[in-house]
């Protein structure tokens, strides 16, 4: 099938999708639409987000709707409210020139009475989340006993989110003679079990995202110690001033932790995870779509239904265990002919996952070095210069202020003026990155030689023995990792010490440094102040107790809990 005119779809549908710019069908559409237009056989389609699967099942569903009857004829089930709304909007656009067709989205977090009133008027195509759909069936407000087809979209995610019982209940209320369509990014054992129990000799097709986006997406990985992954995210953001991307994490807890750190460090970031209420999800997603957020930290499940076309980066804070999930993630960038970058942050034990992805797909990864402090400073400097050079100047408005500006700045020579001007934006990057370490780790002598060249006064980080310390200054006093590193180097009067993990809490902070600096460190901090607070530094003894001097059991328990949290994360 070379174009949509060959599908025999209703002319009103063709008119609508032509206005939307639909010309050549995507692979999933080319395989699915002809089947659904001519056969009532069940179908299993392996398809990623961004392949055009909504049109693949939505266009035939619209065409095959018999408008003489008000009964629900097609039921689409999907895992999240956002995806439910998006599918309903898309199908409404496809059918805009068909008079009398009714499409309804039903989902939790919205007034069920309004949805019931719409159902009473008749809905030919219903798109719903499993929980709300089940509720409406139990209330006998949604009758699916005469549907012609049921579509399970993102079946793997519905099962991952615990909707198995809901799906089984809904399927049990459908007629025996119907067409069942299942779309899934991955074919887990749970998905296979559903197909065996509720589908009859289904036809199988595959159109994975990797077949259509590999050319537009650059896949790279960085190799660092696991504890450096957050620093990598920051450097990626800093060297890409216009970044607009998603950071994927494994767990809800990790998304909160990373997002909070980014926000505390001044980045336009927030989290999207299953712990948020629907109102909170809507607020976060709304800000992200409007680009008020540059980085969204999310789990795979929470990101489903977030349909954004212009992502510049996908960052894998953790690589998923399943190669298909990586393909699904990376497919969120590089859309609509635009270029995108998918970055994996690895430690040495994860190389097998990269090899597995390369083996099972057409993806080819390139290894790159995490940007150095100097790389970032140069990039930000020239970004600033480009911004100033290209800013639109309102001559009429600004000219009235120029005499006063000239007078105010007449004492500065040209070179000095430029330095002052640039430093207003540039100083914070210079301050943070002036002693930045090379955090790349290597598996070959060539890269090890490069590391020694870049850091001639430092030992290999992996062989350094680190000790932990607490300091009585936190983010409440404007402390951040950069300031803490600068304070340590200033007190030691040296930038040679290897500084490890840094964690900034509200009223205190934790950091690691080479054990050999213990005596010098404690002595050098004596009598020092930060933000008018006399600094107190104490060694982490490893048992949750302080290294010495007062403070009470409450603080000890808090530190013990923090220590345990770090240990669990490292394991």
Cα separation of 252 and 457, whole Å?
40
What is the residue-averaged pLDDT of the chain? Answer: 82
pLDDT for residue 212 is more than 70: no
Looking at residue 563, which CATH number applies to its domain? Answer: 3.30.70.330
Select the more confidently predicted residue: 397 or 260: 260
Supply 344's token pair: 């994996």
- Number of structural domains (the chain) is 4
Neighbours of 104 (CB within 10 A): 19
**pLDDT band at residue 557 under the 50/70/90 scheme:** very low
Select the more confidently predicted residue: 269 or 302: 269
pTM here is 0.55
Residue 450 lies in a domain: no
Distances (CA, A) of 54 to 47, 64, 90, 105: 10, 15, 8, 14
pLDDT, residue 49, reads 63
Cα separation of 521 and 326, whole Å?
44
Residue 406 lies in a domain: yes
Helix, strand or coil, per DSSP, at residue 204: strand
Question: Is residue 42 domain-shared with residue 173, that is, in the same domain?
Answer: yes
- Mean pLDDT on 130-153: 94
Supply 75's token pair: 């039921």
Given the structure tokens 């328990």, which residue do they identify?
Answer: 557
Question: Is residue 196 domain-shared with residue 243, that is, in the same domain?
Answer: no
Residue 447 lies in a domain: no
DSSP string for residues in 167-196: HHHHHHTS-SS-EEEEEESS--HHHHHHHH
Residue 438 lies in a domain: no
Cα separation of 477 and 133, whole Å?
50
Question: Is residue 325 domain-shared with residue 192, that is, in the same domain?
Answer: no
pLDDT, residue 150, reads 96
pLDDT, residue 48, reads 66
217-247 pLDDT per residue, tens: 999 999 998 889 999 999 999 999 899 999 9
pLDDT, residue 569, reads 38
Select the more confidently predicted residue: 59 or 429: 59
pLDDT, residue 552, reads 38
Q: Which of 157, 189, 207 is the last residue of a domain?
A: 207
Looking at residue 144, which CATH number applies to its domain? Answer: 3.40.50.300
pLDDT, residue 420, reads 79
Triad 443, 445, 450: Cα angle to 5°: 100
CA 261 to chain centre: 15
412-436 pLDDT per residue, tens: 888 887 777 777 666 777 777 777 8
31-48 pLDDT per residue, tens: 999 999 999 999 998 876
pLDDT for residue 179 is more than 80: yes
Question: Is residue 499 domain-shared with residue 524, that is, in the same domain?
Answer: yes
Cα separation of 516 and 465, whole Å?
8
Cα separation of 525 and 194, whole Å?
63
Supply 521's token pair: 């460190």
Question: Is residue 64 domain-shared with residue 157, that is, in the same domain?
Answer: yes
Distances (CA, A) of 49 to 102, 325, 519: 26, 11, 56
Question: Is residue 94 domain-shared with residue 178, that is, in the same domain?
Answer: yes
- Mean pLDDT on 244-258: 92
Q: Which of 345, 372, 399 is the last residue of a domain?
A: 372
Asked if residues 107 and 129 have their Cβ atoms less than 8 Å apart, the reply is yes
Closest CA to 187 of 344, 81, 48: 48
Distances (CA, A) of 123 to 69, 84, 115, 239: 10, 15, 10, 50
Select the more confidently predicted residue: 336 or 441: 441
Q: What is the percent of the chain where pLDDT is above 70?
A: 87
Question: Is residue 296 domain-shared with residue 423, that is, in the same domain?
Answer: no
**pLDDT band at residue 149 under the 50/70/90 scheme:** very high
Residue 521 lies in a domain: yes
10-26 pLDDT per residue, tens: 999 999 999 888 878 88
483-541 pLDDT per residue, tens: 888 888 888 887 677 787 788 888 888 888 888 888 888 889 988 888 889 999 988 76
Cα separation of 263 and 269, whole Å?
6
Helix, strand or coil, per DSSP, at residue 293: coil
78-129 pLDDT per residue, tens: 988 888 988 999 999 999 999 999 999 999 878 899 999 999 999 999 999 9
pLDDT for residue 210 is more than 60: no
pLDDT for residue 399 is more than 50: yes
Residue 439 lies in a domain: no
Residue 440 lies in a domain: no
pLDDT for residue 564 is more than 80: no
Least confident segment among 349-363, 445-459, 527-541: 445-459
Neighbours of 363 (CB within 10 A): 19
Q: What is the percent of the chain where pLDDT is above 90?
A: 36
Domain that holds residue 340: 213-372
Neighbours of 382 (CB within 10 A): 11
Question: Is residue 289 domain-shared with residue 363, that is, in the same domain?
Answer: yes
Least confident segment among 133-142, 160-169, 253-262, 459-468: 459-468
Residue 300 lies in a domain: yes
- Mean pLDDT on 362-373: 90
Question: Is residue 134 domain-shared with residue 225, that is, in the same domain?
Answer: no
Alpha helices by DSSP H, listed for 48-163, are 53-63, 81-94, 112-121, 130-138, 155-160
Closest CA to 70 of 138, 159, 147, 136: 147
Closest CA to 248 of 315, 312, 197: 315
Question: Is residue 424 domain-shared with residue 497, that is, in the same domain?
Answer: no
Q: Which of 184, 207, 230 is the last residue of a domain?
A: 207
Which stretch, 99-113, 175-189, 402-416, has highest mean pLDDT?
A: 99-113
Question: Is residue 382 domain-shared with residue 361, that is, in the same domain?
Answer: no
Question: Is residue 481 domain-shared with residue 538, that is, in the same domain?
Answer: yes
Supply 108's token pair: 């939790």
Select the more confidently predicted residue: 331 or 128: 128
């Amino acid at each position: 099938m070379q174009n949509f005119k060959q599908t025999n779809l209703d002319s009103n549908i063709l008119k609508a999708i032509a206005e939307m710019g639909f010309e050549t069908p995507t692979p999933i559409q080319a395989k699915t639409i002809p089947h659904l237009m001519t056969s009532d056989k069940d179908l299993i389609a392996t398809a990623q987000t961004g392949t055009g699967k909504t049109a693949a099942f939505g266009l035939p569903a619209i065409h095959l709707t018999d408008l003489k009857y008000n009964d629900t004829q097609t039921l689409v089930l999907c895992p999240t409210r956002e995806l439910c709304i998006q599918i309903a909007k898309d199908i409404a656009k496809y059918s805009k020139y068909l008079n009398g067709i009714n499409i309804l989205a039903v989902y939790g977090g919205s007034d069920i009475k309004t949805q019931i009133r719409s159902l009473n008027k008749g809905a030919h195509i219903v798109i719903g989340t499993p929980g709300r759909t089940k509720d409406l069936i139990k209330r006998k407000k949604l009758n699916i006993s005469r549907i012609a087809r049921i579509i399970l979209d993102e079946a793997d995610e519905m099962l991952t989110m615990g909707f198995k019982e809901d799906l089984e209940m809904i399927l049990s209320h459908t007629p025996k003679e119907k067409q069942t369509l299942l779309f899934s990014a991955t074919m887990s054992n749970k998905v296979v079990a559903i197909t065996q129990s509720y589908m009859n000799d289904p036809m199988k097709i595959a159109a994975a995202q990797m077949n259509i986006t590999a050319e537009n997406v650059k896949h790279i990985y960085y190799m660092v110690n696991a504890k450096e992954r957050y620093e990598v995210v920051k450097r990626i953001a800093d060297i890409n001033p216009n970044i607009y991307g998603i950071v994927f994490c494994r767990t809800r807890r990790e998304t909160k932790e990373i997002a909070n750190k980014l926000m505390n460090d001044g980045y336009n970031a927030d989290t999207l995870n299953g712990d948020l209420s629907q109102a909170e999800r809507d607020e976060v997603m709304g800000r992200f779509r409007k680009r008020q957020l540059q980085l969204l930290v999310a789990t795979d499940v929470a990101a489903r239904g977030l349909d954004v076309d212009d992502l510049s980066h996908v960052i894998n804070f953790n690589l998923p265990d399943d190669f298909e999930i990586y393909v699904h993630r990376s497919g969120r960038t590089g859309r609509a002919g635009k270029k995108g970058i998918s970055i994996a942050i690895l430690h040495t034990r994860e190389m097998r996952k990269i090899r597995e992805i390369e083996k099972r797909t057409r993806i080819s990864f390139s290894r790159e070095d995490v940007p150095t402090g100097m790389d970032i400073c140069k990039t930000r400097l020239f970004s600033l210069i480009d911004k100033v050079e290209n800013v639109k100047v309102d001559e009429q408005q600004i000219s009235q202020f120029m005499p006063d500006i000239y007078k105010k700045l007449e004492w500065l020579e040209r070179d000095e003026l430029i330095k002052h001007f640039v430093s207003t934006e540039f100083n914070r990057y210079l301050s943070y990155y002036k002693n930045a370490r090379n955090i790349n780790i290597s598996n070959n002598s060539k890269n090890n030689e490069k590391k020694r060249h870049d850091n001639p006064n430092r030992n290999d980080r992996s062989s350094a023995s680190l000790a932990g310390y607490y300091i009585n200054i936190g983010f409440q006093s404007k402390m951040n990792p950069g300031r803490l590193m600068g304070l340590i180097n200033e007190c030691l009067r040296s930038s040679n010490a290897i500084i490890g993990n840094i964690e900034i809490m509200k009223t205190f902070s934790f950091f690691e440094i080479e054990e050999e600096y213990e005596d010098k460190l404690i002595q050098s901090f004596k009598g020092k102040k930060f933000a008018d607070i006399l600094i107190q530094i104490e060694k982490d003894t490893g048992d949750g107790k302080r290294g010495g001097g007062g403070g009470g059991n409450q603080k000890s328990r808090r530190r013990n809990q923090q220590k345990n949290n770090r240990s669990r994360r490292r394991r």
